[in-house]
Amino acid sequence: MLADPQGSVLYNYFKHGKLERTPGDSITEGIGQGRLTENLKGSPIDDACVVMDTEAVNMTFKLLDEEGLLVENEDFYKLFNNVKINLTLTSFFVRCTHSSIRNGLVGMVGRTPLVRLNKISDETGCDILAKAEMCNGGGSVKDRAALFLIQDAIRKGQLKPGGTVVEGTAGNTGIGLAHMCLSMGFKCVIFMPNNQSQEKIDILRTLGAEVTTVPVCPWDNPNNYNHHARRFAKSLKNAVWTNQFDNRANRLAHIETTGPEIWKETQGKVDAVTFGTGTGGTLSGVGTYLKEKNRHIKVVFQ
């Protein structure tokens, strides 16, 4: 999601080829912290649009009110409990059922269903589908990246049994990593900005992660939470900084799983895909895979 004013940085890049820094408070995580991450470089993006924070909230409740679709995750419930709304609502919770026995929590990553959004599909005359990523084991699309980041470190010999996974994250990547580490027998250490919700910190600690909060500052400041994570991992033996923003294993997760799932589930009948974007991994990975299948598919960056 691109939120003004900082969101205009990458919007300008993808629309006009200019990467400009906008004065203002630092982005904590979204859209690559206002920089072009390794995951975003070379992304097959056809268009970009800015979605204001208030519009994003309104869209969330529109989805709830008109589609009866209530996504189960900590961030949504926090929002739902703190925003006063007047809705006549018959909500239906998307429950995730699997047709086969999965191999632990790791086996719960991927193969999520597509849900047709009936009202807006009927209004537009198009089939508009939502990928139900809350059905992943840790409850978000970031579980895919978390698993691939860890597996990549193991494959490269950077992480051995009993080792420590370190990441700087203000979002669901940390929760995904904590779940995967708990399941796979690794320690998890998370650095995050000190403006994040206590609920998020509590979830991470419940999952066994060690959490350190640091003051908010821009990416190019050495005290940015990501640089704290990098230095901490370097100080330990048998530890890896997974570096979600610039580690191409993030992108690969979606080239190898999310993209193929969408192609298979739609039987190749895809005209366009759109994503809210943080590291750029989901957008780049899915976009790359689908463009290889059909170069006419439009990839829109929100």
Do the domain assignments include residue 92?
no
Active site residue 119: no
Catalytic residue (choose from 18, 62, 78, 142): 142
The count of structural domains within the chain is 1
In order of 70, 124, 278, the CA distances from 139 in angstroms are: 13, 29, 17
Q: Is the pLDDT confidence value at 147 over 90?
A: yes
Do the domain assignments include residue 85?
no
The residue with greater pLDDT, 277 or 9, is: 277
CATH number, residue 207: 3.40.50.1100
Q: How far apart are CA 203 and CA 180, in angstroms?
A: 14
The pLDDT of residue 97:
54
The pLDDT of residue 39:
73
Residues with Cβ within 8 Å of residue 280, at least 6 apart in sequence: 31, 32, 37, 39, 40, 43, 245, 251
Grade residue 95 by pLDDT with cuts at 50, 70 and 90: very low
Angle at 197 between CA 177 and CA 20, to 5 degrees: 80
Q: Is the pLDDT confidence value at 191 over 80?
A: yes
Q: Is the pLDDT confidence value at 189 over 90?
A: yes
Q: Is 235 exposed, middle or buried (0-12, 13-18, 19+ CB in 10 A)?
A: exposed
Do the domain assignments include residue 111?
no
Grade residue 62 by pLDDT with cuts at 50, 70 and 90: low
Q: Which of 204, 211, 201 is closest to 179 using CA atoms?
A: 204
Grade residue 120 by pLDDT with cuts at 50, 70 and 90: confident
Do the domain assignments include residue 107?
no
Domain extent, residue 171, equals: 142-248
The predicted model gives 127-150 an average pLDDT of 92
Give per-residue burial for 198-232: e unless 16+ CB within 10 Å, then b: eebbebbeebebebebbebbbbeeeebbbbbbbeb
Do the domain assignments include residue 119?
no
Do the domain assignments include residue 187?
yes
The predicted model gives 246-261 an average pLDDT of 97
What residue has token string 């992943």?
Answer: 136
Grade residue 61 by pLDDT with cuts at 50, 70 and 90: low
A 10 A CB-CB count for 89 gives 12
Q: Which two tokens stand for residue 18?
A: 């200019």
The residue with greater pLDDT, 221 or 69, is: 221
The predicted model gives 119-129 an average pLDDT of 91
Q: List the end-to-end C-alpha distance of the chain, in Å, as a whole number.
A: 5
Do the domain assignments include residue 9?
no
Q: Is the pLDDT confidence value at 10 over 80?
A: no
Q: Is the pLDDT confidence value at 199 over 70?
A: yes
pTM of the model: 0.78
| CB of 253 closer than 8 Å to CB of 244 | no
Do the domain assignments include residue 53?
no
The pLDDT of residue 103:
83
| CB of 186 closer than 8 Å to CB of 208 | no
The lowest-confidence range among 21-25, 101-105, 115-119, 226-230 is 21-25
